[in-house]
Structure 1
């Protein structure tokens, strides 16, 4: 299992630190210039002026929602009331081996 690179950052990180953790060193400059402005329009956390960085826990939360990790969904819809008598009648009853 890989370690979350965002967890290694300080509580408030610069755009460059976030970029390197999210997309790697090679693409970090492009991500800061082109991607962050687009993400901010979708709710990406803004820079906190007091701390001069973006709050990393909110960045993580943003990506959880962005990828649908925190979205609620139902695996299967209920198909009606259970009929246990019908289910029990289908079960095979095993007889003990010594009978």
Structure 2
């Protein structure tokens, strides 16, 4: 199986079209929604890098839907039901 060469969309600053794809939006829908969401804290396009920082975009949506503090915790040991 041949691997495709990496593209800009594989990096931390994907194109707006790639962000739209990752969010199940058409590029046109995303452009309109991004303007509204930026007023609510969606990371803006970084002028130096030419794109939105994907981890920050992902964190924005996780926080928007109340999942920003969700972590998988390691078990603290076996349960002792006799202690109840």
TM-score scaled by structure 1? 0.56
Shift in Å, 1:14 = 1.8
Gaps of 5+ in 2: 1-8, 71-83
Match of 2:35 in 1: 37
Residue-pair matches, total: 64
* Higher Cα radius of gyration: 1
> Equivalents in 1 of 2:20, 2:40: separation in Å?
17
Match of 1:77 in 2: none
Shift in Å, 1:71 = 5.3
Match of 2:18 in 1: 17
> Equivalents in 1 of 2:59, 2:68: separation in Å?
8
> Equivalents in 2 of 1:56, 1:70: separation in Å?
15
Q: Is the CA contact 1:12–1:53 (under 8 Å) kept in the aligned structure 2?
A: yes
Match of 2:5 in 1: none
1:38-71 per-position Cα deviation (integer Å, ceiling 9, x unaligned):
1100000011111100000100110110111025
Please, what is the CA RMSD of the aligned residues?
A: 2.2
TM-score scaled by structure 2? 0.65
> Equivalents in 1 of 2:30, 2:48: separation in Å?
24
Which stretches of structure 1, 4 residues or more, deviate above 3 A after TM superposition? none
> Equivalents in 1 of 2:34, 2:10: separation in Å?
18
Equivalences for residues 1-99 of structure 1 within 5 A: 9-24=10-25, 27-32=26-31, 34-70=32-68
